[in-house]
């Protein structure tokens, strides 16, 4: 039986408070443009003073990155479940699921695009983001090897990721259509991309 020490309790308490702050950040991101979100907004949502946040995150950048990393981890696990459970039409299924996930979890997508375009991130934060993206690429690698795609598959994973994100960037605010119609349009395009990858790169 593992013995808990006061140090363990203190670490667990810190982690719990960090999670509360990240939860609050995600709720704020869901209703306010990412670039407009301030530490004061998040502190208000979390029910603490803005100065208290800096006890758990050294700066605003690190808080935003940690919120994104949680989302990226969820996406990776979500993809892993689909890839593990699906064989027939797996590439098409994954493309549709990826686009749908980011439509339904728009704050994560907005954070992803913001960080991709932000040239002001520190090298430490960039490496954390790169590591999160690599976990998504790893899932695509597994998918493509499972479907017997031509090696090397890593460049294909990069291209697949870029293509699906391009669909979201291009059409998420498609004018003159309902949200449901836009969602359907984007998933249809994602399926077209998947079929092209399947036709061109599968050796089956």
HEC letters along the chain: CCCCCHHHHHHHHHHHHHHHHHHHHHHHHHHCCHHHCCHHHHHHHHCCCHHHHCCCCCCHHHHHHHHHHHHHHHHHHHHHHHHHHCCCCHHHHHHHHHHHHHHHCHHHHHHHHHHHHCCCCCHHHHHHHHHHHHHHHHHHHHHHHHCCECCCCHHHHHHHHHHHHHHHHHHCCCCCCCHHHHHHHHHHHHHHHHHHHHHHHECC
Domains of the chain: 1-57 (1.10.10.60), 59-201 (1.10.357.10)
**Does the pLDDT of residue 89 top 80, yes or no?**
no
Mean pLDDT computed over every residue of the chain: 87
12-51, pLDDT tens digit by residue? 788 888 999 999 988 888 788 777 888 999 999 999 998 8
pTM given for the model:
0.84
177-186, pLDDT tens digit by residue? 998 999 999 9
Residue 115: pLDDT band (50, 70, 90) is: confident
Would you state the structure tokens that stand for residue 169, as one six-digit string? 């960037």
């Amino acid at each position: 039986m593992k013995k808990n020490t006061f140090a363990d309790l203190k670490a667990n308490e810190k982690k719990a408070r960090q999670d509360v702050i990240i939860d609050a950040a995600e709720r704020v991101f869901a209703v306010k443009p990412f670039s407009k979100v301030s530490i004061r907004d998040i502190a208000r949502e979390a029910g603490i003073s803005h100065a208290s946040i800096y006890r758990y995150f050294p700066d605003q950048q690190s808080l935003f990155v940690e919120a994104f990393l949680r989302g990226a981890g969820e996406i990776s696990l979500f993809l892993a479940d689909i890839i593990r459970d699906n064989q027939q039409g797996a590439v098409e299924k994954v493309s549709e699921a990826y686009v749908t996930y980011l439509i339904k979890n728009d704050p994560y997508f907005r954070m992803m695009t913001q960080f991709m375009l932000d040239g002001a991130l520190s090298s430490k934060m960039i490496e954390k983001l790169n590591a999160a993206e690599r976990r998504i690429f790893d899932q695509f690698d597994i998918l493509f090897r499972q479907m017997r795609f031509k090696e090397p598959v890593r460049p294909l994973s990069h291209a697949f990721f870029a293509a699906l994100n391009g669909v979201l960037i291009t059409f998420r605010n498609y004018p003159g259509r309902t949200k449901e119609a836009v969602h359907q349009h984007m998933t249809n395009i994602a399926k077209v991309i998947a079929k092209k990858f399947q036709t061109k790169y599968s050796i089956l």
